[in-house]
């Protein structure tokens, strides 16, 4: 216990510190640190970025709630209006990055954990090139065997892709386990592999 003024403040429990630290390290810091090496890992998402952003926002809200509830002093209330705005924008930025770059966390988990070989054929519904000189291409795919919509971003640092456009049929190969699907081979159906760097 620590005395602050006339109030006795309970030290935050260790589990809370572990939860907050682990979340921040895994979803806010690690994905950003991986960008210079890989940009984005080829993890297959089941949901679009908008849905992932909502999930990330709930995670950020939960973490902030724990931090504010366990903090002995409400530092946020002491900030001026401009400081609160900057804090909110910073939180919003990390929330978006966690949604946009979560493939780096889940993709690494798929690679490191045991799994099975994965292969499928998918039709490209949409292809959005991003970054200077097209550093990545974000794909919306329809899985041919199941008809399900999937989302995949390929980094120029990992794949030597040239032009992928809607209507193309791609063969995808990689690894699958309980975390999801990681793609390490892409080729046009009936054509040569796009190659990986």
- 178: its two tokens: 């309980």
Give φ, ψ of 8 to 5 degrees.
Answer: -95, 120
Check pLDDT > 50 for residue 191.
yes
The pairing of strands 149-155 and 7-9 is: unpaired
Q: State the pTM of this model.
A: 0.83
From the list 183, 130, 180, the residue with the least C-alpha distance to 156 is: 130
Check pLDDT > 80 for residue 120.
yes
Give φ, ψ of 25 to 5 degrees.
Answer: -65, -45
* pLDDT, mean over the chain: 86
From the list 125, 93, 100, the residue with the least C-alpha distance to 34 is: 100
Q: How does pLDDT run across 4-31, given as a tens digit for each residue? A: 444 444 566 788 888 889 999 999 999 9
> Which residue's structure tokens are 């995670």?
59
Residue 43's DSSP bridge partners are 182
For the chain, the structural domain boundaries read 2-39+46-108, 113-188
- The whole-number pLDDT of residue 6 equals 42
Give φ, ψ of 101 to 5 degrees.
Answer: -110, 10
Q: Sort 117 into a burial class: Cβ within 10 Å, 0-12 / 13-18 / 19+.
A: exposed
**The domain at 113-188 falls in which architecture?**
Beta Barrel (2.40)
Q: Sort 81 into a burial class: Cβ within 10 Å, 0-12 / 13-18 / 19+.
A: exposed
């Amino acid at each position: 216990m620590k005395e602050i003024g006339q109030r006795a403040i309970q030290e935050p429990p260790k589990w809370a510190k572990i939860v907050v630290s682990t979340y921040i390290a895994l979803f806010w810091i690690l994905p950003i640190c991986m960008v210079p090496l890989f940009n984005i890992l080829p993890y297959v998402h089941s949901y679009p970025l908008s849905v992932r952003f909502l999930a990330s926002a709930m995670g950020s809200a939960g973490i902030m709630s724990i931090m504010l509830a366990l903090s002995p002093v409400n530092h946020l209330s002491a900030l001026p209006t401009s400081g609160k705005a900057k804090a909110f924008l910073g939180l919003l930025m990390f929330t978006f990055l966690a949604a946009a770059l979560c493939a780096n966390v889940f993709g690494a988990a798929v690679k490191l954990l045991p799994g099975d070989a994965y292969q499928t054929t998918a039709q490209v519904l949409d292809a959005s090139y991003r970054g200077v000189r097209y550093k990545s291409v974000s794909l919306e795919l329809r899985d041919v065997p199941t008809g399900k919509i999937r989302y995949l971003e390929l980094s120029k640092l990992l794949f030597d892709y040239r032009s992928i456009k809607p209507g193309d049929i791609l063969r995808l190969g990689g690894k699958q386990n309980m975390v999801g699907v990681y793609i390490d081979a892409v080729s046009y159906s009936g054509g040569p592999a796009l190659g990986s760097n």
